Chains A and B, each alone.
Chain A
Amino acid sequence: MKHSIETYHLHAYIDGELSYEEAAEVEAAIAVDLKLKEKLEELNQLKTKMSLAYTENIPKPVNSKLPNFENKHTLENKHTPWWTTSKAAAASLFLGLLIGSGALKLYMANNLADSPMMHQTVAESSQNYLVHLDSDLPEKEQKTIKQIESLLDDSDPNIRVDLISNYKGVELFDVNNPNSKELLRLVGKYPNLTLFACKRALERAKKEGRPITVLPQVKKDKPAIDAVVERLKSGWNYIKI
């Protein structure tokens, strides 16, 4: 099929950089060009993979050396960046004032200990779970529900679990889905469970003539990828169904 879509259009499309008209042009082209559609799916997969990458072994700020405005007097145990063996001579005064494990400890004791943001970051890394569903297969939907219940049943009452669905996974949030009642039961039982449906997936379903009547408890104000990345950046545990 003839169309004017180039590869770079697809990249801009998945990055949300095209205007409404341009995006519609891409969508019209992929509807008739199977190769283009496959290419788009490949790029989408790569983008998702990238979005989830580099999250392993990220050092916690509590174990690292954080500079701050205060405690500039702490000079012990200077840290020398790997690249600045000689450059350190020029920068040592300021670096010495601010960097160092001593400064870090003092910083942690004086500032972060009472910082709600810090508590949130540290706590999130171990206690919060993001469950991601992108399929409408009944067995996967049931597995999702079981997974959520086991997380909420077994753990600290302060734990947070967010179920985020995209692509065909948004079907689970349809009021007519046979599994939605079970999901509603969990929402009623656990106030720390939150449901998110991908805004784009809902729009796409509507455009394709199969609009989804989403449960009122479901949040649907942003694309799934943004919601996933936000949580991963905050150190949430990620579970893909």
Chain B
Amino acid sequence: MTLSIKVKNLFGDKQKKRKLNALFAEKYQNLYRLAYAWCHQPAQAEDLVQETLLKALEKSNDIENLEHLDAFLATIMRNTFLDVMRFNKRWQWTNENEIDEFFSKDCSETEMIAQQKSECLYKAMASLPFEQREAIALVDLQGFSYQQIADITATPIGTVMSRISRGRESLLKRMKHIEKYGTNIVPLRR
């Protein structure tokens, strides 16, 4: 079974490299879902996935067991996304309102996709604080356990639990608000 193959010293084995290449291709769409749920911009999501896979290649010698590949990739993607936000100085130098506003701002592509399906859910997700959006996407889109999310986000498991619980409650409120008023909402403050 491919997933149980140990990939230590991967660079020395062409066949194993090919298997990892194929696995990365297989993971692409799933990673894109996560990236899109985090940033809500299709082009940015594609870049994020690409950057993640590149970094994963660089660090492939660190992969001890492909069973943990999903968590490994999610961790890289999260760190990459945080780097992006820091790099743009929208993480360190602005307040949370501005981060939320930036990442929930609609572009024409996002608008079109949102109209097709789940418009309300997407708008509400986009307006959540990032740490809640991140935790919900990891548990609901990727099926990670709370412990895995705690490891990926380097956060205590109690905090993960709280983010998921508060995030979903907030998501429901925001969805109801959007359904009622038909417009996006000002992000709620904690």
Contact = CB atoms under 8 A, between A and B. Distances in A.
B141 A81 contact: no
A64 B57 contact: no
Interface in A1-24: 7-8, 11-12, 15, 17
Interface stretch (B38-46, B71-79, B96-104, B178-186): B38-46
Nearest to B44: A82
A106 to B, nearest CB: 12
Contacts of A35: none
B25 A121 contact: yes
Interface residues of B, number: 57
A81 to B, nearest CB: 4
Interface in A103-120: 107, 111-112, 115-118, 120
B54 A99 contact: yes
Contacts of A116: 22
B17 A70 contact: yes
B162 interface: yes
A54 B50 CA distance: 18
A60 B58 CA distance: 23
B146 interface: yes
Nearest to A121: B26
Interface string A43-71: 10011011101111111110011111110
A68 B57 contact: yes
A16 to B, nearest CB: 8
Contacts of B171: 46
A84 B161 contact: no
How many interface residues does chain A have, given as a range?
Answer: 35 or more
B90 to A, nearest CB: 10
B47 A83 contact: yes
Interface string B40-71: 00111011111101100110100000000000
B28 A64 contact: yes
Given A54-B37, A54-B141, A98-B57, A118 B43 contact: no
A7 B169 contact: yes
B164 A55 contact: no
B43 A82 contact: yes
A159 interface: no
A160 B57 CA distance: 33
B168 A11 contact: yes
A58 B30 CA distance: 9
A171 to B, nearest CB: 26
B88 interface: yes
A182 interface: no
Contact of B18 (A50, A99, A115, A120): A115
Contacts of A12: 146, 161, 165
B102 to A, nearest CB: 12
Contact of B146 (A17, A64, A70, A111): A17
Contacts of A207: none
Return the 10 tightest CB-CB contacts between A and B, nearest first: A50-B140, A81-B47, A8-B165, A61-B28, A69-B17, A117-B22, A115-B22, A54-B33, A83-B84, A68-B21
19 contacts: A17-B161, A46-B168, A50-B140, A53-B118, A53-B141, A57-B113, A58-B36, A66-B28, A69-B21, A69-B57, A81-B47, A82-B47, A83-B84, A83-B88, A112-B22, A118-B26, A121-B29, A226-B143, A233-B30
Given A64-B49, A98-B54, 9 more contacts: A46-B171, A53-B122, A59-B29, A65-B50, A70-B21, A82-B43, A83-B47, A117-B22, A226-B143
